Chains A and B, each alone.
Chain A
Amino acid sequence: MDAVAVRRYLAAYRVCLRIAVRQATTYRASFLLSSVITLVGNLAFPLVTVLIYGSGAGFPGWTADEVLLIQSVFTLSAGLSGLVLGGVVFVTMDRVREGTLEIVLLKPVRPLPFIVLTTLQPESAGVALGGAVLLGWAASRSVHAVSVTGVLSFVGLFLAGLCVMAGMSLVMAATSFRWVGNSRLPEIADSTRTFGRYPLAIFPRAVQSVVTFVVPVGMVGFFPASALLGRSVPGMWPAAATCVAFLGFGVWLYHHQIRHYQGVGG
């Protein structure tokens, strides 16, 4: 991509961001309600953790604050990916089902960035903010010695986790080109992502391998939080590479499927 194209994408990004905010605030009550519901839905998990540990139970080898740290990282990741990519799945599904993807293909830009730009979801900003606040709170209680290596590892693994979230969204969206109207797929993806909210050690070894190297959702919460806590987990960095590959696969699959778009009857 040349400098002119980059400038055009950035200009389009600014306009689309403004449009997304205007759209979201057009129906203010719905926007606020949606933001609150999304935030509550995402913060319910940490509350369950508090209740579990409050009753005397827990995950072996992990304190309540450490588990909350994992879940806060997960929430922050979910908020950020929802903000940028939350609309891609449903908008792609709708456009394929209704046969309106032509509108996207008429623009002199890559279809995927265009759909991303035009489907920003400002209501997810609340989730990201809630996740960040919870992360600060949980880190202050569980991270006793902050090291530069730990923070850099956290940032790197957190970005890898974002790659997983983005990759999952793109794979789901790409699937809708062939499997039209697959509205239950996001629920399956949500359930799969849930594995990233807990210490991986509580799962059987086979599950641990799958969520580390196949569908690396462990990277969404568990691995970055472990790095921040100074806990070394075997396979952490190879798993990060898998995450980048997973995103690459999602992007490739999405573009590949666009070439097979057939529209609907006119």
Chain B
Amino acid sequence: MQFPLARYRRLLATYLKPQRGRVLGLGCLVFLGIGLQLLNPQIMRRFLDSALAAQPLEQLTKLALLFMGIAFGQQLLALGAVYLSEQIGWTATNALRADLTAHCLHLDSSFHNHKTPGELIERIDGDVTTLANFFTQFIIQLLGNGLLLLGIIVALALEDWRVAVGLIVCVAAAISLLQKMQRVGVPLWGESRQASAELFGFLEERLAATEDIRSSGARNYVMQQLYRQMLVLYRKTRKAELATAWLYNAGQSMFIIASGLGLGIGIYLYQQQQTTIGGVYIITAYIGLLTTPLEQILRQIQEFQKASAGILRIDELRQQRPAIVDGTGPTIPQQALDLRFEQVSFGYNTDTPVLRALSFELPAHQILGVLGRTGSGKTSLIRLLLRLYDPHQGTIRLGGIDIRNTSLADLRRSIGFVSQDVQLFHASVRDNLSFFDHRIADQQLLAALETLGLTNWLNSLEHGLDTLIKPNGLSAGQAQLLAFARILLKDPRLIILDEASSRLDPASEAIVERALDRLLAGRTAIIIAHRLATLQRADAILVLDAGTIREFGPRQALLQNPQSQYSQLLQHGITEVFA
């Protein structure tokens, strides 16, 4: 695997810089801990030598207390290091999660149409979590344990150079064995996991096909297949387990030989009277310390490989660019807006046009009712107006300004959109109304609910604005009214309403009608209508058919013309046609 190091450095720099102090602190804790780890065997040695030389008891007690103190301090440092590194890791990855989420939210609809929410959760939460270790542990552990390894070897060399040399040879052999373990083990484990995936795939398929299996008289056959699959899994797993175990044990044997060698040299030196009993003890103690840093270093390398895959996927995500370019031009005036479509053509792909050279004009303060069958282009027209997509040709002007020139935020601030299915979050009524914008005061929220006649509903809730809304916990009528309240709070200049096609009960319908009166007052509006009652408030009617205007004109004029589509629709009843 290739490791693009510059990318990692950039990532580390971006997310660790704000926590410089903590990172520095963590480094100090880790290095101090290593020092203490190297120190304690020395104390032990002095203790043994002093005891055997029958030194005063007082001195022995002092050494014993010092040993305990150092061990305790070492644990304290380790604890502090865990705490700090978790804080650093989560703070850094949280920042990365937020950045990635914001980035994805800004990407185009076409991106979201290809990615399921589940996949994005895996990318933003799953992949980033694998990075937590990379942020905190990787460098510190690698450096720390490398230093510890070096420290042990130096400490041993101080006792006797031959011990150090013997040890280096054994450690090198152990490392190469452990690496080989990875090389041999990874493909074998891959096969074992594959067999396991196949077994569960096999089972899932059979569990879904019990009706067919029984009625085909194939139960015994399926059981035999199960036995065969399980046997395959057993053989593959055994092969992988035993191969890794052989190599692991061989590596461990290197350590055994190393400690035997160390002890042997110690005994020899003692017999030559070149060292004390304490000296012999310290050699075995240091060699015993070796296993941990070696295993840590290997583990970090493994973790790093895992994190690398995550980093690559995250980078891939960050490189996605939205096709909708934010405008920097004039802002949209703060008044009721007139709307103009000028020769607008559009399609989701180039060979199937959805809208063809569409032109019409809606004066300020007027309400436009849009009709058309499924696929006639109603939804696309709205999407273009909200700049979820850009037209291939033509211009849309709002308040006289080309909507591609103004900023997206400004455009979307000026337009309020109520869709058929209202998106509610598993959050409080307050957050659902304000879209998590905490700058909106409760007073405003209450006023909006009051305007829409929802005060009684609010009072019926156990915790008022703090009540948790469960998705699907509201009726269609209530959800619709909450969506209206959102729009009132936003106070836009143009309202787009994709009327819910599901029929409301008569009581809710009356409430929604009254609410609509208040919502639309003093604003320009486009309504995709599914009900006759709604059309009656329209000033103009637009009938779309296969992306072109079938009919457009003032409602009254169309009504008086018995030949018009609109008047014919009224006779047939609109819901039946457009359901």
Q: Do A and B come from one complex?
A: no
* Contacts from A to B (Cβ < 8 Å): none
* Contacts from B to A (Cβ < 8 Å): none
